[in-house]
Chains A and B, each alone.
Chain A
Amino acid sequence: MSDVTVPATTGAGVFFDGRISTRRDARVTLGARTLTIDDAEGRRLAEWPYEEIEGLPGPDGVLRLGRHGQVRLERLTITDPAFAAAIDARAANVDRSGGLQHRQQLAVVGLSFVAVATLLMVAWFGVPAVAARVAPLLPVAVERKLGAAVDVQIRSALDTKHAGAAFECGNDAGKADARAAFAKVTQRLEAAAALPQPLRFTIVHRPESNAFAIPGGQVYVFEGLIEAAHDADELAGVLAHELGHVAHRDGTRAVLQGAGLSFLFGMVLGDFVGGGAVVIAAKTVLQSSYSREVEAAADVYGVGLMQKAGGNARALAAILARIGGATEPGMKILRDHPDTRARVATIERLAPGSGGPAMLSPAEWTALRGICKG
């Protein structure tokens, strides 16, 4: 036990020379600048400068040492705690207390905060900026393909109760009047908009007052929206707003943004706990927040289009105020009233007076309203 009180300069160890796996019981001597390792017969096995000695992971109560930066893996293990402490005191890169590791951990946490902040900045500013630059560059043909893929998903998500064709309204022979009235509205909008791609409007059996455009010029109108509209101009106003999304290629941009975000969050953050749920939540919040500006731009376009088509541009404001601004799916969390009020005010400022004659006669409007009935 005298070793504990007197600083030990020699002790026992087990040495492996890194050339062959033979175990050698060794006598270790602590010199002024080097540690020397001799075998039982006093033959020199190795001499290590203190600055090259590194502590290596080993089991509890065993100090495992190696020599830094060597191809050959010389290893020395010390089990006597007092002698291990004496080596620890001389070699700077031996970290028995774990203080070095603790500092490293703190640095990792600090750095990962920086990394996460950078990631959020890229998600918030970078991804939308890239999507906005890339979306207008995509050829119309590619956008239509993209739209077709999205369309399949949208239909399977929305078409819950009805099978096949019954999901769409107005395909029966008896609905010719209603179809004609709807076509009158949409053709006037399409002519006024003069977009590079042909448009397709589809009315579907859904109770919500909603409509949306997907990439490639496909616009879905829900039965609930036709119920909520007081006249054809209100319906046309919402359709004009949706054509704003088509003209600005917002659908394509949203798909690109979604792909970018899921790549960013899914891969960089890793699946440490089924990160999928985090990714979906992050995407929803980020994408909803992009859409405020996007909605405002589509409103401006919609007002301009209604004025060009000779309809009542203020009708969009009227129907928005009534249905609470929920014209996009999946926006419940951000559907607050001040936002809708601001949109209504902007539309009314842009369209001071009501436009020309109503877009449909009362008889045509009545026929259109019945398109999903029966």
Chain B
Amino acid sequence: MTSLEASGGKASSVRFLGRRRTYARLLARGAALLLVSLGLYRFWLMTDVRRFLWASTEIDGETLEYAGTPIELVLGFLVAVAVLVPVYAGFFVAALDLGVFGEMAGGLAFLGLGVLGQYAIYRARRYRLTRTIFRGLRFTQDGSAWVYAFRAAGWWFATAITVGLAYPFQLASLERYKMRHTFYGTLPGRFAGAGWKLLLRGVPMWLLVMAPLALTAAAFVEAVDWGALADAVGQGGDDVMARVEGGNPALGETIVFAMLMIGLSVLLAVLFYPVFQAVVLRWWTSGLRFGEIEATSSLRIRHVYGAYMRFLWWGLLFTIVLGILAVPLLIFIGILAGKMPETGAGDIAASVIGLGGYVIAALGYSTIYRATVQLSLWQLGAEALHLSRVERLDRVEARGEASSPLGEGLADALNVGGY
């Protein structure tokens, strides 16, 4: 705070006004409607969720307004389907015939849809921004979605070949692009976060997660007689495994060691994930700038852990309830299978109940996740935010208009949607 006061101007913090219970009720009703409408309610639920989150976020005494409508999302989705049908059909036909191109169709489809997904992310952000109204002014976004998409694809490639080490620079670069093209009225945004700062914070976690995997790789190089292994596999036949074991007496122990190490690595990754999320969120929000207004975040890691603990607690309760409800159904299946084994009624009932149970469980856990972790990240991220020189918000002029919802539709059809 001292730096803010020293820089002059009025400092202000962001408040979150929404009540947890209201949000949970909204999500629970939405989950029930998703179930009966086989998922088509998602456009309405997404709009309700955004209206709640936007309206609950107060900056310098005024709340945000989400002005999007579900019908826009449905139309965007229908247009996206119309765009994607020929694309999918083209890849399907290409996979059948057309020589070399056909052989590469799978990889090309993966690449093409990946780039299209990034394009959709940028367009969807534009839709959300132009539907965000604050003090009678819209946010807007210009810039090219295709430029963004190819940059993002290039960065994903870099992140993949560096096993994640390029990720901070990817985030910084893409965020700079997004914020450089973001405006509140005529007030231009920018992003001041530096990739290497995030890298410094993330590297200890990265090392701890990677160390067991590196040890595993070293152990394999040490223990395995690669020549003997190649011979054993190359000969083929029914007793490959026996020959593999014969040629490499240490292989069994190495595989046990590898499994333990991979388990350790996964465990560490799960434990560190909230830390990682908190670090990225704090770094990201601290880098946001609009004109002379600067944001700083005082987000605490233990608060993010608290959100996950709430998720585990409600998830556990939900699991117990599901378990209790499953008992009579299992007994019912048992009776059905016992009484009429020849008709297969037991099998059919088991499939139907299994499928229904899977859908209800998945919907339940995702709803609990949204009501606990997602809401808390939004709330914590907002409440930890301090803005300097907010008096600059008083005389911003309006600019721009609402954009098309195609990006949202594409993002939905390609499963890359956000909030």
**Given A75-B135, A109-B33, A109-B36, are A20 and B65 neighbors across the interface (CB < 8 Å)?**
no
Q: Does A349 interact with chain B (Cβ within 8 Å)?
A: no
Q: Say yes or no: A274 contacts B133, CB within 8 Å.
A: no
Q: Within 8 Å of chain A (Cβ to Cβ): is B251? A: no
- Are the C-beta atoms of B394 and A22 separated by less than 8 Å? yes
Judging by beta carbons under 8 Å apart, are A59 and B397 in contact? no
Cα(A291)–Cα(B46), bound, Å: 39
Cβ–Cβ contact B39 & A270, under 8 A: yes
Interface-lining segment among B141-149, B156-164, B319-327, B341-349? B341-349
Residues on A with C-beta less than 8 A from B342 are 337
Q: B102 touching A145 by the CB < 8 A rule? A: yes
Residue numbers in B under 8 Å from A51 (CB-CB): none
Chain B residues in 8 Å Cβ range of A58: 55, 63, 65
User: Which residues of chain A have C-beta atoms less than 8 A from B240's C-beta?
Assistant: 163
Given A142-B96, A267-B81, A272-B34, A333 and B351 touching (CB < 8 A)? yes
**Contact assessment for A164 and B38 in the assembled complex, using a CB-CB cutoff below 8 Å:** no
How far in angstroms is the closest Cβ of chain B from A54? 11
B363 contacts the other chain (CB 8 A)? yes
Is B237's beta carbon under 8 Å from chain A? yes
Q: Is the CB of B236 within 8 A of A163?
A: yes
A326 to B156, CA, bound (A): 48
Per the 8 Å Cβ criterion, residues 303-346 of B in contact with A are 342-344
Interface residues of A in 244-264 (CB under 8 A from B): 259, 263
A278 touches B355 (CB 8 A): yes
Interface residues of A in 46-92 (CB under 8 A from B): 56-60, 62, 64, 71-75
Cβ-based interface call for A363 (8 A): no
Check if B269 is an interface residue, CB within 8 A of chain A.
no
Residue in B362, B398, B413 whose beta carbon sits within 8 Å of that of A72 in the complex: B398
In the complex, A273 has a CB within 8 A of chain B: yes
Name the contact of A75 in the complex, choosing from B56, B136, B237 (C-beta under 8 A). Answer: B136
List CB contacts (< 8 Å) of A75-127 with chain B.
75, 104-105, 108-109, 111-113, 115-116
**A350 interface residue (CB < 8 Å to B):** no
User: Does B394 contact A23, Cβ atoms closer than 8 Å?
Assistant: yes
Query: Is residue A269 within 8 Å, beta carbon to beta carbon, of the partner chain?
Result: yes
A49 vs B85: C-alpha distance when bound (angstroms): 46
Q: Which of A22, A57, A272, A336 makes the CB contact (< 8 A) with B344?
A: A336
Asked if B292 is at the interface of the complex by the 8 Å CB criterion, the answer is no
Q: How many residues of B contact A (CB 8 A)?
A: 69
B67 at the A/B interface (Cβ < 8 Å)? yes
Kindly provide the distance from the CB of A143 to the nearest chain B CB, expressed in whole angstroms: 9
State in angstroms the CA–CA spacing of A163 and B242 once bound together.
13
Category for how many chain A residues contact B: 35 or more
Known A-B contacts A19-B398, A109-B36, A145-B102; A281 and B44 likewise in contact (beta carbons under 8 Å): no
Chain A proximity of B306: nearest CB distance (Å): 24
Least CB distance from B88 to A in Å reads 6
Residues on B with C-beta less than 8 A from A19 are 136, 397-398
Q: How far is the CA of A17 from the CA of B55 in the complex (A)?
A: 19
B44 adjacent to A108 (CB under 8 Å): yes
Contact B97 A333 (CB under 8 A): no
Q: In the complex, what residue of chain A is closest to B185 when comparing beta carbons?
A: A21
B51 at the interface (CB under 8 A from A): yes
Pair A115/B88 contact, Cβ less than 8 Å: no
Q: Provide the bound-state CA to CA distance between A56 and B351, in Å.
A: 45
* Contact present for B37 and A109 (CB under 8 Å): yes
Contact partner of A163 (CB less than 8 A), chosen from B39, B40, B237, B358, is B237
| 4 tightest A-B CB contacts, nearest first | A16-B136, A112-B37, A273-B362, A272-B39
B interface residues (Cβ-Cβ under 8 A, vs A): 17-19, 22, 33-34, 36-42, 44, 51, 54-56, 58, 61-63, 65-67, 70, 81, 84-85, 88, 92, 95-97, 102, 133-138, 185, 233, 236-238, 240, 342-344, 347-348, 351, 355, 358-359, 362-363, 366, 393-398, 401, 412-413, 415
- The 18 listed contacts between A and B (C-beta, < 8 Å) are A16-B135, A18-B137, A18-B398, A21-B397, A112-B36, A116-B40, A145-B96, A145-B102, A146-B96, A163-B236, A164-B236, A267-B81, A272-B39, A272-B363, A281-B355, A333-B348, A336-B343, A337-B342
Which residues of A come within 8 Å of B, CB atoms? 16-23, 56-60, 62, 64, 71-75, 104-105, 108-109, 111-113, 115-116, 141-142, 145-146, 149, 161-166, 259, 263, 267-275, 277-278, 281, 332-333, 335-337
